[in-house]
Amino acid sequence: MNVLHLKLDFVKVVRVALFPLRFRKVKIMDDKLKKLQGERLKEIRKMLGLSQKKLGLWLSAKGVTNNCGEPYKEITIASWENGRRKIPEEVMKAISENVNINGHKVQASYLHGSDKYMTSSDELLQEAIRIS
């Protein structure tokens, strides 16, 4: 067996051994993000005073429906809020474009989990507190 063949076999073994670890780490991060996004969706829904069923009807009125063209059902919204399923991008977009909290739109980055401030006014308020 020559050196090149040994090197190729070693690389193949290392890749096979490491892939499951990398995959698990990505899946854990994805699960944490889904849970965070779900918690934020639930927070916004409760601030609006909507039940899960009414949120589904509200989304339908904004043109966001499931694959069958029907309003999202409570069980689907519950699975988003619990982090079991990923929230569709069009749902997050509809919320960020149409929901106002204290006169300010909800930031899409907040729903995606990349920003800790729900609205731009929250960010400005925190900045003012930090400066003073």
What pLDDT, on a 0 to 100 scale, did the predictor assign at position 116? 84
The verdict on pTM exceeding 0.75 is: no
Mean pLDDT to the nearest integer, 77-91: 96
Query: In angstroms, rounded to a whole number, what is the distance separating the alpha carbons of residues 59 and 94?
Result: 7
DSSP alpha helix (H) spans, the chain: 3-47, 52-61, 74-81, 89-98, 108-112, 120-131
Query: In angstroms, rounded to a whole number, what is the distance separating the alpha carbons of residues 27 and 6?
Result: 32
Query: In angstroms, rounded to a whole number, what is the distance separating the alpha carbons of residues 99 and 81?
Result: 17
- Other C-beta atoms lying within 10 Å of the C-beta of residue 88: 16
Q: How confident is the model at residue 122 (pLDDT cuts 50, 70, 90)?
A: low
pLDDT digits (tens, 9 = 90+) for 17-71: 455 555 555 566 688 999 999 999 999 999 999 999 999 999 999 999 999 999 9
